[in-house]
Chain A
Amino acid sequence: MISSYQKSLWSRNLMLVLVVAAVIGVALKIGWSLQKIKLYDQALAYYEAKDLVKAEETFAKANEHAGIEYGDEAWTTQMSGLTDIREELESLSRQAQPAIKDNREEEVLQTYRSYQSFKREVEGRQEAQAATFFQTISTRLGLEKGWSAYYQQAIQHAKAQMQSLQVSDQQALIHTLVLVPDEFFGGTEKKAQELETHFRRYETAKLQERADSLSFLDVITQTAKSIELYRQEGISSDWLQKQLERYAKGEIGRVIRQNDLPGFVAMAKAYRQIQNVLPDKSEVLATIETHLQSLIEQAEKYAKQHKFTKATDLYQELSGLLDTSSLLAGVDEPWTQFDPSRLLQQKYPDQAFDPVFTGSDHWGAKTYAIGVDQKERRIYFAAKPTENEAPVSFDLALDIDTDFTFTLSKLEDDHDSPVLLVSSVGKERAYLYTGVVPQLSKNSFDTRFVIEADDLTIEDAARVIVKNAVGPGEHELASFEFGRKGLEYVAKLEDLQPEHEEPADPASPSATEEEGDSQSGQGTPELPGAPSVEVPHTPSAGHSVDVYAGPGKEYKVIGQVSLDSSIQVVTDLNGWYQIQFDGKEGWIETPKTAN
């Protein structure tokens, strides 16, 4: 328990401490007040002696002592105004000096602007004393001199760099010059003029220098970068755009004239990439567009003339400038239609086929190609079911071990589904005949019949005459019917002498050739690896030959061509050449010497 004696002691002592503190406070306050009064009176004396700077200085010192108010209010307000000016200037000086020293342009400019606006504000107050005081303090702090020196030096430095074309950092240089206040050039207009003159002289010389030593790409990229810089700084650089256009026009015109397609593509591509720094209606871009258009037209023309390779090559070259995939696809379609063997090539690019049968509208395929590999005893099939569908392909290993011939027979499995007849050497008879049909839906060949016989003649789509077949029709010349189950014996036509040696006169190649000839329609065995050959000159040169609309004299005669001139042969087929004729297709009989 705390006694009242203790309590009284503590409360008294606490109060004593408080009082001591308060007394110290009072002593300080009185001391400061006296100090303030002394300084204030001193300041007033300076003021009366017209020493404004000292008066303000002393006044500021007096004001540092808080505590009491003293003196004439109007005069105090006036002096406080001067103090504010001095403090503001000192603060500006504190900001500006390190900024100038460290070359922080933005800050230098910012302090300079603040200074100028403050100066205008003070001058606008219509107080002679304030203006004089401002000037005095500013001079004492060396503010204006500092900025002036800084900017003069910056201008000199920039000019020197541009003169010598040795600009280390163009962006910084332009930025520095743009940041220099107008006054240091003698006004806004003068600044703009002077800057443009300098920049123009510099850029012209620089472009010249670049054009002499650098590639087109480097020249335009660097110049574009310059334009970009000027634009960033808000400086008009139309003159540089024009110079760039002029340069590019010359260069691109030269490659167009020289027919340098890769060069053109590279330059056009590069030039398009700097489009954002070019004028809205760039003449060079227009030229590029025009030339590009004419090139596309050229390619289209090639395609029309069935010069598909050329068209494709041209498109591929142009692919750097525009998206040519649809154009290429557009060429691909007619090309495949024109030359279905491409289907095989695309599928089996490393394989050489001999012969190749091509055609259209069989087995449900829009176009097809059948390739024969004699060595491997295999047949390959590739087709496009319709124009828009993906190609299908499959192959068949023949169950034979001798050479064979391969024909498109008159026999029809179905409508527009002719049977492919493979004839090879038989074991018991002279020949082994195999009939196969491609099944697109199953992606495979369908073997319809295998028969050994001395001879086999196809009468029409369903009837065959077989000589001395193995099995039914042995020692007979019998007629067979082609149906669902293959070949079926129908009737005997004639007895054959059992020991009668069959002369080798119905040589199978000629027979097949005949059949193939009469049936294959548009089927065209192709010269492998050389889709088009030059027709050799013949002794009978000089005379013209008729050009037919198709491979056969039954087709319409569509014109004449002189064998003197060089004729572009696209392909050949059973004694007929397909040629390019007045930009159209046509067929001529193969000259005798050519085969």
Chain B
Amino acid sequence: MRKKIGVLFRKTQKTAYTFERLKACKHCHTYHVLWDTHCEECGREYQPIRKLSASVTRRYVQTRFLLMVLFVCLAILCAKSLPQILIAGGVGILLLALFYWMQKKYGSYERDAQFLPFLSQEQDAIKKSLVHHLEEIGADVKAERYKEAYEKIREIGHFIHSDTIKIRKIMFLNHFILRKDMELELETVTPSTYDKDFVEYLREVIKVQPSLVKKSVLDYARRYKAYILLQENGEQLMGQIAGAALRMRPYIDQYQDLIIEFIDFIPRDRFLRLAKLVHTHRHEGWELLYAATKRRVDAQFAFDPDFAGIS
């Protein structure tokens, strides 16, 4: 077993949309998803991508406006007489005013509509920047700066949902002593295939913060049950997972089979919660669960005052 280190992760920003994490340098045409506020190349301040897109859209509007002015000027230049000049000028000014008013009123719609095309246009640049970040992480790993590496890959993970990223995250996380106040993640690191490190990590996380066990983790546990059981203390881990599933009724419904199978390995406090739940609520389809619960209560906790009067 490796020696684990105690760390304190920097706070990560919470955003409504993932794209809000993207920041851009206008000058270098690069993107940044980490915590820096100024471009490492030129030192200019990063701009939120939304703002950048808005300014591009604004320029398109300006260009159109100037094009109109140009047409008006050409009309005046082509005018052959004084009345023609006046008409051209008058109509031109009217048109420009109309355009300005419309822009005021409906400009925001265009800004939003333009954002998606802008993003798809910038896709390549964004990818390039992410790849650049991944390279930095590689350098950090080499220098054994696991904390920085994890912090960076955590940010990148918002954009890339691949097993590679997840497995690397777990690799980094397994270097640290886990604490509850760490904003630990579990669901976002669950890989699609069986991974021994992940199971290791899961064991640790369940100890610290069992509330992180959610549907995807439960599915994972059910799918790779056989592998997990091959691990040392596999049954205990499965019992802990089943215990964690007891937090919510829908989970109990869905993972009844898992709970029943490993009911004997569920820790005592969690089992007490199950027994109380089973006792107070009568649900259709829970018959097997009742039976299993009763069997274990009868077998292990028949004389336990906490379980008195439950079964």
List residues of A whose CB falls within 8 A of some B CB: 1, 3-6, 8-9, 11-12, 15-16, 18-19, 22-23, 25-26, 29-30, 33, 37, 68-70
Give the residues in chain A near B66, CB-CB below 8 Å.
12, 15-16, 18-19
Asked if B69 and A22 make an inter-chain contact with CB atoms under 8 angstroms apart, the answer reads yes
A29-B77, A68-B85, A69-B80 given as contacts; is B63 within 8 A of A15 (CB)? yes
Cα A6 to Cα B125 in complex, Å, equals 13
A12-B63, A68-B81 given as contacts; is B73 within 8 A of A5 (CB)? no
Name the distance in Å between B273's Cβ and chain A's nearest Cβ.
56
Asked if B63 and A1 make an inter-chain contact with CB atoms under 8 angstroms apart, the answer reads no
Asked if B81 and A4 make an inter-chain contact with CB atoms under 8 angstroms apart, the answer reads no
Is B118 among interface residues, defined by CB-CB distance under 8 A?
A: yes
Cα A243 to Cα B165 in complex, Å, equals 130
Give the residues in chain A near B24, CB-CB below 8 Å.
5
Asked if B60 and A8 make an inter-chain contact with CB atoms under 8 angstroms apart, the answer reads yes
A1-B29, A5-B56 given as contacts; is B73 within 8 A of A70 (CB)? no
Selected contact of A8 from candidates B63, B70, B80, B124, CB within 8 Å: B63
Cα A105 to Cα B239 in complex, Å, equals 130
Give the residues in chain A near B77, CB-CB below 8 Å.
22, 25-26, 29
Asked if B29 and A15 make an inter-chain contact with CB atoms under 8 angstroms apart, the answer reads no
Is B122 among interface residues, defined by CB-CB distance under 8 A?
A: yes
What are the interface flags for B15-48 relative to A under an 8 Å C-beta threshold, 1 for contact and 0 otherwise?
A: 0000000001010010000000000000000000
Listed from nearest, the 3 A-B pairs whose CB atoms lie closest are A22-B73, A8-B59, A15-B66
Is B13 among interface residues, defined by CB-CB distance under 8 A?
A: no
Known: A19-B69, A26-B76. 8 other contacts (CB 8 A): A3-B26, A3-B29, A4-B56, A4-B118, A6-B29, A11-B59, A23-B73, A68-B84
Number of interface residues of B (CB under 8 A): 29
Cα A585 to Cα B243 in complex, Å, equals 182
Name the distance in Å between B130's Cβ and chain A's nearest Cβ.
16
Give the residues in chain B near A33, CB-CB below 8 Å.
82, 85
Is B67 among interface residues, defined by CB-CB distance under 8 A?
A: yes
Give the residues in chain B near A22, CB-CB below 8 Å.
69-70, 73-74, 77
Is B79 among interface residues, defined by CB-CB distance under 8 A?
A: yes
Is B211 among interface residues, defined by CB-CB distance under 8 A?
A: no
Asked if A69 and B81 make an inter-chain contact with CB atoms under 8 angstroms apart, the answer reads yes
Is B62 among interface residues, defined by CB-CB distance under 8 A?
A: yes
A15-B67, A19-B66, A19-B69 given as contacts; is B125 within 8 A of A3 (CB)? yes
Give the residues in chain A near B76, CB-CB below 8 Å.
26, 29-30
Asked if B74 and A1 make an inter-chain contact with CB atoms under 8 angstroms apart, the answer reads no
Name the distance in Å between A235's Cβ and chain B's nearest Cβ.
60
Give the residues in chain B near A69, CB-CB below 8 Å.
80-81
Name the distance in Å between A32's Cβ and chain B's nearest Cβ.
11
Cα A5 to Cα B125 in complex, Å, equals 12
Cα A26 to Cα B80 in complex, Å, equals 13
Asked if B82 and A70 make an inter-chain contact with CB atoms under 8 angstroms apart, the answer reads yes
Asked if B79 and A68 make an inter-chain contact with CB atoms under 8 angstroms apart, the answer reads yes
Give the residues in chain A near B62, CB-CB below 8 Å.
12, 15
A-B contact count (CB 8 A): 71
Is B233 among interface residues, defined by CB-CB distance under 8 A?
A: no
Is B121 among interface residues, defined by CB-CB distance under 8 A?
A: yes
Asked if A19 and B29 make an inter-chain contact with CB atoms under 8 angstroms apart, the answer reads no
Give the residues in chain B near A8, CB-CB below 8 Å.
56, 59-60, 63
Asked if A5 and B52 make an inter-chain contact with CB atoms under 8 angstroms apart, the answer reads yes
Asked if A5 and B29 make an inter-chain contact with CB atoms under 8 angstroms apart, the answer reads yes
Name the distance in Å between A429's Cβ and chain B's nearest Cβ.
141
The A-contacting residues of B in range 57-95, CB under 8 angstroms, are 59-60, 62-63, 66-67, 69-70, 73-74, 76-77, 79-82, 84-85
Give the residues in chain B near A3, CB-CB below 8 Å.
26, 29, 122, 125
Give the residues in chain A near B56, CB-CB below 8 Å.
4-5, 8
Give the residues in chain B near A18, CB-CB below 8 Å.
66, 70
B68 closest partner in A (C-beta): A19
Name the distance in Å between B53's Cβ and chain A's nearest Cβ.
9
Is B55 among interface residues, defined by CB-CB distance under 8 A?
A: yes
Name the distance in Å between B30's Cβ and chain A's nearest Cβ.
10
List residues of B whose CB falls within 8 A of some A CB: 24, 26, 29, 52, 55-56, 59-60, 62-63, 66-67, 69-70, 73-74, 76-77, 79-82, 84-85, 118, 121-122, 124-125
Asked if B82 and A12 make an inter-chain contact with CB atoms under 8 angstroms apart, the answer reads no
B59 closest partner in A (C-beta): A8
Name the distance in Å between A1's Cβ and chain B's nearest Cβ.
7
Cα A298 to Cα B117 in complex, Å, equals 127
Give the residues in chain A near B80, CB-CB below 8 Å.
68-69
Give the residues in chain A near B79, CB-CB below 8 Å.
68
Name the distance in Å between A20's Cβ and chain B's nearest Cβ.
10
Give the residues in chain B near A25, CB-CB below 8 Å.
73, 77
Give the residues in chain A near B59, CB-CB below 8 Å.
8-9, 11-12
Cα A33 to Cα B121 in complex, Å, equals 49
Give the residues in chain A near B121, CB-CB below 8 Å.
4
Asked if A30 and B70 make an inter-chain contact with CB atoms under 8 angstroms apart, the answer reads no
Give the residues in chain B near A29, CB-CB below 8 Å.
76-77, 85
Give the residues in chain B near A70, CB-CB below 8 Å.
81-82
Give the residues in chain A near B74, CB-CB below 8 Å.
22
Give the residues in chain A near B84, CB-CB below 8 Å.
68
B124 closest partner in A (C-beta): A1
Give the residues in chain B near A12, CB-CB below 8 Å.
59, 62-63, 66
Cα A16 to Cα B77 in complex, Å, equals 17
Give the residues in chain A near B26, CB-CB below 8 Å.
3, 5
| Contacts A/B (CB < 8 Å), 8 sampled | A3-B125, A12-B66, A16-B66, A22-B70, A30-B85, A68-B79, A68-B85, A69-B80
Give the residues in chain A near B52, CB-CB below 8 Å.
5
B78 closest partner in A (C-beta): A29
A2 closest partner in B (C-beta): B29
Give the residues in chain A near B122, CB-CB below 8 Å.
3-4
B128 closest partner in A (C-beta): A1
Give the residues in chain B near A9, CB-CB below 8 Å.
59
Cα A70 to Cα B80 in complex, Å, equals 9
Asked if A1 and B69 make an inter-chain contact with CB atoms under 8 angstroms apart, the answer reads no
Cα A16 to Cα B64 in complex, Å, equals 11
Asked if B63 and A11 make an inter-chain contact with CB atoms under 8 angstroms apart, the answer reads yes
Cα A29 to Cα B86 in complex, Å, equals 12
Give the residues in chain B near A11, CB-CB below 8 Å.
59, 63
B79 closest partner in A (C-beta): A68
A3 closest partner in B (C-beta): B29
Give the residues in chain B near A16, CB-CB below 8 Å.
66
Name the distance in Å between B201's Cβ and chain A's nearest Cβ.
40
Name the distance in Å between A494's Cβ and chain B's nearest Cβ.
151
Name the distance in Å between B303's Cβ and chain A's nearest Cβ.
75
Give the residues in chain A near B82, CB-CB below 8 Å.
33, 37, 68, 70
Name the distance in Å between B173's Cβ and chain A's nearest Cβ.
36
Give the residues in chain A near B81, CB-CB below 8 Å.
68-70
Name the distance in Å between B71's Cβ and chain A's nearest Cβ.
9
Name the distance in Å between B260's Cβ and chain A's nearest Cβ.
58
Name the distance in Å between A63's Cβ and chain B's nearest Cβ.
15
Which of B26, B82, B85, B121 counts the most A-chain CB atoms under 10 A from its CB? B82
Name the distance in Å between B169's Cβ and chain A's nearest Cβ.
31
Give the residues in chain B near A15, CB-CB below 8 Å.
62-63, 66-67, 70
Asked if A19 and B85 make an inter-chain contact with CB atoms under 8 angstroms apart, the answer reads no
B30 closest partner in A (C-beta): A3
